[in-house]
Structure 1
Amino acid sequence: MINETVGIIGGTGWLGGSIAKAVLAKGLLSAANLVISNRSGNHPLAQQGACLVADNQDLVDRSDVVIIAVRPEHFASLNINATGKIVISLMAGIGAQTIAAQTSAAAVVRAMPNAAVEIGQSFTPWYCFAEVAATTKSLVQRLFECVGTAAEVQQEDFIDYLSALSGTGPAFPALLMTTLANQAMAAGIPCDIAQLAAKNVVVSSSQLLASHDAQHMIDALVAYRGVTAAALQAMIDGHFEEQVGRALQAGAAVARQGLQT
C-alpha cells in the first residue's frame, strides 16, 4: 500500500473509474487516500470511503498525485494549478511539456492504458518527462499493474505510436472478428455459427499465444502445408503486414498531430 493521496480527475468515467476501483481492490491505496471529482457530487465509490469533490482544483489541493483521465479536448478548460504535484496524464495527443506548462506540475508522466482496464488486462506504456524520482517511477508502475501490465518507455514519441497499437485496445481484434464472421456468412455459413467460429478464433484460440511464441507458431503452421498454411500465405501475399503498418502509422499521425496543437 502506498501512503500518497491520489486524485483522479475524471475518476467516475470508464477509464478513471476502472483505475479507481482497481487500486482499491488490489489494496494499493486505501479509500481514505483516494480523491475523485464528479460534478454531480454523488458516486458509489464514495460509499467505499473515497473522497468525492465537485471542483477539480479542490481535488488537486488534496492530492499528492493527480491523474488526468479526461478527453484531450477538455484539457484546456481544466485550469488547475498542480505546483509541487505529480501529474499523470492518460490523454492521447497532449504533450508532456504542454501539460507541465499548463499545470505547473513538479513531475509529468504520460501513460496510455486501453479499454482492457475494465478486466485488469490493459498494457500501459508510460513516459516520464524530464527528471523523475525513482520512487515516483515505482509508484506509476505499481499503479498501472493494478489494471494489467505496464512498462516505461524512453521516448515520448513512443507513447503516440503505442496510442495506435496497444492504446486501441480491442479495436483490431474486434475488426478481425467481425471480418471473419462476415466472410463466413458470405460463404453461406449461418450467422450464429459464423459468429461462434470467429469468436473462437479471436477470443478463445488466441489465448494459446499467452504460452507460445507467435512467430514460432506461424512458422510451424506454414511448414505443415495444410489449410492453415494456405490461409496464412494468402494473407502474406496480400501484404497484410504492410496494411497493418499503414494503419498504425495513420493512428500515430493523429496522436502526433494532437501533440503539436
Structure 2
Amino acid sequence: MSSQTPGIQTLGIIGGTGWLGGSIAKALLAKGVFAQGHLVISNRSGSHPLAREGAQLVTDNQALVARSGLIILAVRPEHFADLKIDASGKTVISLMAGVTAQAISKQTSAAAVIRAMPNAAVEIEQSFTPWFCFGEVDAATKSLVQRLFESVGTAAEVTQEDHIEVLSALSGTGPAFPALLLTALARQAMVAGIPADIAQLAAKNVVVHSSQLLASRDAQETLDSLIAYRGVTAAALQSLTDGQFEQQIGKALEEGAAVARKGL
C-alpha cells in the first residue's frame, strides 16, 4: 500500500539506476512509499531491472520532470552543469555534495530545493541522511522526505545548509573512517608480529562487530568506564588522547567540509 503525500503522487529520480539512486528506488518500491507506476527513473538506455519491480523508465530527463511532483537528482556533482531541466513549480531533492541549494535553484528554476546527504550504507538500508530545505516546503512534503530517507536508514532535518557540508565530511563518508581505523589496526598488529590473517580478523572484530555494542550504550559512558578500570584498554586510549586523536578528527572534518563548501 502506497503512503505518498496527497499532491505528490509520483517521484522522479534522475540517475535512478546508479548505485545511490538505484538503492533508494529499490527500497521505496519494496516498502511501498510510492506505488508501482508512480516512481519514474531516467537513464540513457530506458531499460533496467527496476522496471520489473514497478519503476517507469524514461530516457528524457525533462519528461521525467513533467511526470513527477518531486524530483531527486542522484547524479555526480561534476555532471550537474550539463543537466538541463526546467523544474519550475517543483521541489527538487539533491544528493550532490558541494553544489549549493541556490545554484541548484538557479539552474533548475525549482520552487524549492532540498539538499540531502545519504551515504554508501543505503545499499544495506543503514544510511544516515541529513537534509536541509531551501525555499518553502510544506509539512506534508517534509514528512514524505523523512519517510523517503528512512526507507534506507535514519534521517534528520537540519536547519543550516552549512551543516550539510560538515556532515558530508562525517556521515557522508560512510564506511571511510571505519575502514581507515580497521586498516591501521590490522597493519600495526602485523608490525607487532601478528600474522596477517589473524590481524585482519582481530581488527574487523573491533571495528565491525564489537562496535555494535554501542547501538544500545552511550559512547562516552563506555569510554569513561574503560578508562576508570586503568587496564590495557585505558593505556591504549590514553596514548591516542596524548597524540591529539580528537583534534586530528576535527581537522579531517574541517578539511572535508572546506572542499564541500568550495564545490567539487
Q: Name the TM tier (shorter chain).
A: over 0.9
1:122 match: 127
Q: From 111, 116, 124, give the equivalent of 1:111.
A: 116
Trace 1:78-93 onto structure 2 (pairs within 5 A): 78-93=83-98
5+ residue gaps, structure 1, are none
2:234 match: 229
Q: From 18, 23, 27, give the equivalent of 1:13.
A: 18
CA contact (8 A) 2:29 2:54 kept: no
Pair 1:216 & 2:221 matched: yes
Q: Deviations over 1:108-133 (max 9, x none)?
A: 10000000000000000000002211
1:36 match: 41
Which whole-Å CA distance do the structure 1 matches of 2:113 and 2:106 have between them? 10
Amino acid at match of 2:153: G
Which whole-Å CA distance do the structure 1 matches of 2:155 and 2:230 have between them? 38
Pair 1:203 & 2:208 matched: yes
Which whole-Å CA distance do the structure 1 matches of 2:186 and 2:54 have between them? 45
Query: Secondary structure in 2 aligned to 1:87?
Result: strand
Query: Secondary structure in 2 aligned to 1:31?
Result: coil
Q: From 77, 91, 95, give the equivalent of 1:72.
A: 77
2:151 match: 146
CA contact (8 A) 2:29 2:53 kept: no
2:101 match: 96
Q: Note the aligned Cα RMSD (angstroms).
A: 0.9
Which whole-Å CA distance do the structure 2 matches of 1:149 and 1:74 have between them? 27
2:165 match: 160
What displacement does 1:225 show? 0.3
Q: Deviations over 1:177-201 (max 9, x none)?
A: 0110001111111111000000000
Which whole-Å CA distance do the structure 2 matches of 1:178 and 1:187 have between them? 14
**Count of aligned pairs:** 259
Which whole-Å CA distance do the structure 2 matches of 1:38 and 1:193 have between them? 44
Which whole-Å CA distance do the structure 2 matches of 1:97 and 1:13 have between them? 25
Which whole-Å CA distance do the structure 1 matches of 2:65 and 2:137 have between them? 19
1:2 match: 4
Query: Secondary structure in 1 aligned to 2:37?
Result: helix
Which whole-Å CA distance do the structure 2 matches of 1:143 and 1:49 have between them? 17
Which whole-Å CA distance do the structure 1 matches of 2:94 and 2:235 have between them? 45
CA contact (8 A) 2:16 2:41 kept: yes
TM-score normalised by the chain length of structure 1: 0.98
Query: Secondary structure in 2 aligned to 1:32?
Result: coil
2:58 match: 53
Which whole-Å CA distance do the structure 2 matches of 1:157 and 1:49 have between them? 36
What displacement does 1:209 show? 0.4
Q: Deviations over 1:208-255 (max 9, x none)?
A: 000000000000000000000000000000000000000000000000
Runs of 4+ displaced beyond 6 Å? none
Pair 1:187 & 2:192 matched: yes
What displacement does 1:86 show? 1.1
CA contact (8 A) 2:111 2:135 kept: no
TM-score normalised by the chain length of structure 2: 0.97
5+ residue gaps, structure 2, are none
What displacement does 1:136 show? 1.1
Which whole-Å CA distance do the structure 2 matches of 1:7 and 1:41 have between them? 14
Amino acid at match of 2:101: A
